[in-house]
Chains A and B, each alone.
Chain A
C-alpha cells in the first residue's frame, strides 16, 4: 500500500490546536527524498519541505504573503481572518473571564487588608447528642430558634457504643 502524501507536522499542530496566526519558519536542513518507487513509478520528490518556498498550511484564500528571511525557508500558517492580528497577552474568551481578570488585577494586585470579622456567636447544641426520639420528632420550624440555645443542656449521645 502507499501512504504517500505531503507530511507537515507544523500544520498538523497548528490546525489541531487552532493556533491561527502563528507564523512558523524553517531553519533546519530538510531535504525531501527522491524515490524510485516500486511498480515502475517515476522518481518522485516530496514537495512539502522544499526549501525557501512559502507553504500555505491552511485555507490558501485567506493567506497573507510573507517575505521569507534571506537564506531561510519561510512558512506562513495563515489565519482565516484577512490579516493575523497580534493576540493579547491573556486570552479573554468570555465576559466573566474578563471580569475575573479585571478583579484580580485591581483587588489582588493592591493587596487589600482583609477585614477581620469578630462574630459573637452563641454556642450551639449538638444535634447528634440529643436523645433519638426528640431528634427524630423535632419540627423544622423550631430549628432556627434553637440556634441560640445554650450548649450547657447538651447531653452525651446515648447511642454511643458502651465499651
Chain B
C-alpha cells in the first residue's frame, strides 16, 4: 500500500511539476490564470467535500506556480539592482513563503473535518466513572466564578461520582465561605508557582477522581457536558482528552466595537468550528485549557499539566500525543464564557498565546519530538507557526511603500506580469478558504484580526523563540466593563503610524501617476495594494475605537418559557422571555397583566423544570414587553436562573445559525466599510488631539507672556 501511494504521488508530481514550472508569456499566463479561476468557480458548485479537496489542489497549484515564478524570475539580482532592493525583496519573499506554508499546512489540517458524535455511556450509571471538576481561579471576582461553580454542581452525573473543586490561588475567605455554602470543595496551596498549571497539578495530588473536567472560572457548563463527553472516554481507553468548543456569549472587542456580534463569525470560531474538527481527523485535537475532560492516568504519566510554557494546555496535549495517547474533539458548545471586554485585554491574552506557542515550538518542536504521527506534527506545527504572523503581516502592510516612497525594485517584473501570476494565487486561495472556512471565518477578516495583533505579538514571539524562558503567565481580565466611548490611542499607535505611512504612499503614488509615470501598470498595482492596506488598517483603527458597554451583565437573547405574577397569592401569567441576563430579564407582556415601574413582582423561568419564583422589580413595562431586574437572589433562585440562562443542554447550539454564509465580495465590502469608519474615527481623534494640544500651547504662552 505504501508503495502504491508513493507511486501515485510520483506520478502526480510529474504533471504538478509541469504545471508549476511552465514558463508562459504574459498573455498565456493571463489565460491560464483565468482558466484556473473559472475552474474554481465550477468546483465551487460541486457539493460535498470532494469539491473542497479539488479546490485545495487547484489553489495549491496556482500558489506554488506563483511562488516558483517569484523565486526563479523576480528577485532583483544583477546589474541595476542594489542591496536595498534585495533586502526588501527578500523580506517580501519571506512573508510570501510564510503565508504559503500556513496555507499548505492549513489545507492539510482541515482536509477532512471529522465531525465526531458523542459516544453512548454504559447502560448502568453504576458503571460510570468518577469525575473531579476543577475550577481554577486567581484574581477573578466571586461574581464571575459563582455561576460556574453552581453550574458545575448541577452537571447531570451520579451525585456520588462527581466532586467540584474551586482551586483558589487567591486564597480568599469569601470563596471559602461560598464553597461551603453550596457544597463545593475549596482548595488552596501555599504559593502560586507555575500559575494555572501549578494550581491544577497541586489539586491532582489531593484528589482521586478517574477523570478531570476543567473549566476556566468564567466558563459555565451546560448540565449535559459530561454525558456528551464522557462516553468517548469510556469507550476508548486510549483517549486522554475530550475537548469541546469555547463559546462566548458576550461580544469580544471586535464584535462590540464593529457591532458584528452574532452576525460575523468571531476570531475564535475558525479554530473551534473547523480547525479542531480537522485536527481530530489526524488525532491531533488539542487541549485548550478549559471545557475539556482529561484522563487522570494520562496526565499522571506525563507528570501533570506542563509548566514550562505559558500555554500549558497545548503543551500538555502535545506530550500526551507523543506518548501514544489519543484525543477527541466534540464540536458541540457545552459551556460558555465571557469574552475579553477591552481591546487591550484581548491583545494581552493573544500575546500570551503567541508567546506560549513560540515557546513550545522551541522547547518541544513538533517536527522533532519523538512519538508523534506525521499528521499530528503538521497540526501542531501549524498551530504554533500561525502565531509568527506578526512580521509577515507588517511586511505585507508596508511592501508597496518600498516602491512608492523609496523607489525600490522589490519585484523584478512588470506590473501586469505580477498581476497575471499573483491574481490566480490570491483569488483561488480566497475562494478555497471561503469554501472551507466560510461558516467560521468570513473572507478578509483574518487580515483585520492579524493587523490588530501583528505589531504586539511580533516582539514576544521573537523573544520566546530566542529564549523560551523569558516572560511570565498573565491572567486574562474578565468581567470588566468599558464604561465610555473612547479611541484607545495607546493600543492604536502602531495602526495609525502604519495608516499615515500608507496614506503618504498613496499621495506620492498619485502625484507620480499624474506626473507621467514610465510604468503606470506597476505604479497602479502598488497603489491598489496600498489602498487595500489602508482599508485593512482602517478596520484595525475602527476596532481601537472602544464602544461603551451599556450593561454590566451581558444580555442573552433567548426565548424560553416563563411565567410572571404579582405575588404568591396572585395568578400566574405564562409568557416567554425575550432576553435574559444575570441581573434581569425581559419578557413578553401577557394580556391582562398590569404593572408599573417599581412594582415588586415574581417571575418563574422554565416552569416545566423549576418551581422557584424569582423576586424582581419592574424597570419598564409597555410596548408589549416587561423588563425586570432581579433582587438579591438566594442560592435556589440563582440556580434556577443559571439553569435557564447557561445550563440548558441546548443553550448555545443555535448561535452559529444566525450568521450569514461567507460571500467574499460582500465580506470585502463590509471590511471596506469598517476601514472607512476607522479612518474617519482616527482622523477625528487625530485632528481633535492636535487642535487641543495647539490650544493648550497657545494658552500656556499667553499665561507665561
Q: For chain B residues 623-645, which have a beta carbon within 8 Å of chain A? A: none
- Identify which of B111-119, B450-458, B467-475 touches chain A: B111-119
Q: What is the CA–CA distance of A109 and B371 in the complex, to the nearest angstrom?
A: 10
Q: What is the CA–CA distance of A101 and B373 in the complex, to the nearest angstrom?
A: 13
Are B23 and A72 in contact (CB-based, < 8 A)?
A: no
Q: How far is the CB of B243 from chain A (nearest CB, A)?
A: 16
Q: For chain B residues 94-137, which have a beta carbon within 8 Å of chain A? A: 111-112, 114-121, 123-126
CB contact under 8 A between A104 and B282, given known A3-B574, A38-B571: yes
- Identify which of B184-192, B393-401, B423-431, B650-658 touches chain A: B650-658
CB-defined contacts of A128 to chain B, threshold 8 Å:
73-74, 412-414, 417
A91 contacts B by Cβ under 8 Å: yes
Q: What is the CA–CA distance of A117 and B699 in the complex, to the nearest angstrom?
A: 75
Are A33 and B563 in contact (CB-based, < 8 A)?
A: yes
Q: How far is the CB of B222 from chain A (nearest CB, A)?
A: 8
Chain B binding surface SS class: loop
Q: For chain A residues 77-127, which have a beta carbon within 8 Å of chain B? A: 84, 86-87, 89-91, 94, 96-97, 100-101, 103-104, 106-112, 115, 124-127
B700 contacts A by Cβ under 8 Å: no
A131-152 CB mask vs B (1 if < 8 Å, else 0) is: 0100110101001101100000
Q: Which of A34, A107, A115, A128 has the most CB of B within 10 A?
A: A128
Are A156 and B79 in contact (CB-based, < 8 A)?
A: yes
Are A2 and B156 in contact (CB-based, < 8 A)?
A: no
CB-defined contacts of B484 to chain A, threshold 8 Å:
none
CB contact under 8 A between A1 and B407, given known A6-B608, A13-B650, A25-B156: no
Q: What is the CA–CA distance of A8 and B650 in the complex, to the nearest angstrom?
A: 9
Are A23 and B375 in contact (CB-based, < 8 A)?
A: no
Are B649 and A32 in contact (CB-based, < 8 A)?
A: no
Q: For chain A residues 19-46, which have a beta carbon within 8 Å of chain B? A: 19, 21-28, 30-39, 46
CB-defined contacts of A23 to chain B, threshold 8 Å:
120-121, 123
Are B227 and A24 in contact (CB-based, < 8 A)?
A: yes
Pick from B78, B235, B281: contact of A156, CB below 8 A: B78
Are A86 and B574 in contact (CB-based, < 8 A)?
A: no
Q: How far is the CB of B248 from chain A (nearest CB, A)?
A: 19
Q: What is the CA–CA distance of A27 and B373 in the complex, to the nearest angstrom?
A: 40
Q: Interface size bucket, B side?
A: 35 or more
Q: How far is the CB of A65 from chain B (nearest CB, A)?
A: 12
A162 contacts B by Cβ under 8 Å: yes
Are A163 and B407 in contact (CB-based, < 8 A)?
A: yes
Pick from B121, B571, B653: contact of A17, CB below 8 A: B653
Are B156 and A162 in contact (CB-based, < 8 A)?
A: no
B36-53 CB mask vs A (1 if < 8 Å, else 0) is: 000000000000111000
Pick from A13, A26, A143: contact of B653, CB below 8 A: A13
A61 contacts B by Cβ under 8 Å: no
Pick from B124, B156, B414, B611: contact of A26, CB below 8 A: B156
B28 contacts A by Cβ under 8 Å: yes
Q: Which residue of B lies closest to A66 (CB)?
A: B123
Q: What is the CA–CA distance of A47 and B608 in the complex, to the nearest angstrom?
A: 7
Q: How far is the CB of A50 from chain B (nearest CB, A)?
A: 9
Pick from B6, B81, B235, B650: contact of A86, CB below 8 A: B235
Q: Which residue of B lies closest to A4 (CB)?
A: B574
Are B74 and A38 in contact (CB-based, < 8 A)?
A: no
CB-defined contacts of A30 to chain B, threshold 8 Å:
609-610
B701 contacts A by Cβ under 8 Å: no
B463 contacts A by Cβ under 8 Å: no
CB-defined contacts of A34 to chain B, threshold 8 Å:
611
Are A143 and B607 in contact (CB-based, < 8 A)?
A: no
Q: What is the CA–CA distance of A22 and B562 in the complex, to the nearest angstrom?
A: 28
B515 contacts A by Cβ under 8 Å: no
Q: What is the CA–CA distance of A161 and B414 in the complex, to the nearest angstrom?
A: 9
Q: What is the CA–CA distance of A64 and B49 in the complex, to the nearest angstrom?
A: 35
Q: For chain B residues 559-585, which have a beta carbon within 8 Å of chain A? A: 560-563, 571-576
Q: Interface size bucket, A side?
A: 35 or more
Are B374 and A111 in contact (CB-based, < 8 A)?
A: yes
Q: For chain B residues 349-389, which have a beta carbon within 8 Å of chain A? A: 373-375
A49 contacts B by Cβ under 8 Å: yes
CB contact under 8 A between A32 and B608, given known A38-B590, A86-B120: yes
Q: What is the CA–CA distance of A4 and B121 in the complex, to the nearest angstrom?
A: 33
Q: What is the CA–CA distance of A102 and B266 in the complex, to the nearest angstrom?
A: 35
Q: What is the CA–CA distance of A127 and B23 in the complex, to the nearest angstrom?
A: 7
Q: Which residue of A lies closest to B588 (CB)?
A: A1
A59 contacts B by Cβ under 8 Å: no
Are B23 and A17 in contact (CB-based, < 8 A)?
A: no
Are A138 and B117 in contact (CB-based, < 8 A)?
A: no
B2 contacts A by Cβ under 8 Å: yes
CB-defined contacts of A163 to chain B, threshold 8 Å:
407
Pick from A7, A25, A89, A126: contact of B72, CB below 8 A: A126
A52 contacts B by Cβ under 8 Å: no
Are A48 and B609 in contact (CB-based, < 8 A)?
A: yes
Q: How far is the CB of B15 from chain A (nearest CB, A)?
A: 13
Q: What is the CA–CA distance of A59 and B79 in the complex, to the nearest angstrom?
A: 79
Are A109 and B2 in contact (CB-based, < 8 A)?
A: no
Q: Which residue of A lies closest to B590 (CB)?
A: A1
Q: How far is the CB of B503 from chain A (nearest CB, A)?
A: 22
Are A35 and B157 in contact (CB-based, < 8 A)?
A: no
Are A124 and B651 in contact (CB-based, < 8 A)?
A: no
Are A38 and B593 in contact (CB-based, < 8 A)?
A: yes
Are A106 and B1 in contact (CB-based, < 8 A)?
A: yes
Q: Which residue of A lies closest to B27 (CB)?
A: A136
Q: What is the CA–CA distance of A35 and B561 in the complex, to the nearest angstrom?
A: 13
Are A3 and B575 in contact (CB-based, < 8 A)?
A: yes
B702 contacts A by Cβ under 8 Å: no
CB contact under 8 A between A5 and B115, given known A10-B224, A89-B236, A126-B73: no
5 contacts between A and B (CB under 8 A): A35-B574, A106-B2, A124-B21, A127-B23, A143-B24
Residues of A with Cβ closer than 8 Å to B? Answer: 1-10, 12-13, 16-17, 19, 21-28, 30-39, 46-49, 66, 69, 72, 84, 86-87, 89-91, 94, 96-97, 100-101, 103-104, 106-112, 115, 124-129, 132, 135-136, 138, 140, 143-144, 146-147, 156-157, 159-163
- Smallest CB-CB A-B distances: 4 pairs: A46-B608, A128-B413, A126-B73, A33-B611
Residues of B with Cβ closer than 8 Å to A? Answer: 1-2, 5-6, 21-28, 48-50, 69, 72-74, 78-81, 111-112, 114-121, 123-126, 154, 156-159, 223-224, 227-228, 231-232, 235-236, 281-282, 332, 373-375, 403, 407, 409, 412-414, 417, 518-519, 522, 560-563, 571-576, 588, 590-593, 604, 606-611, 648-651, 653-654
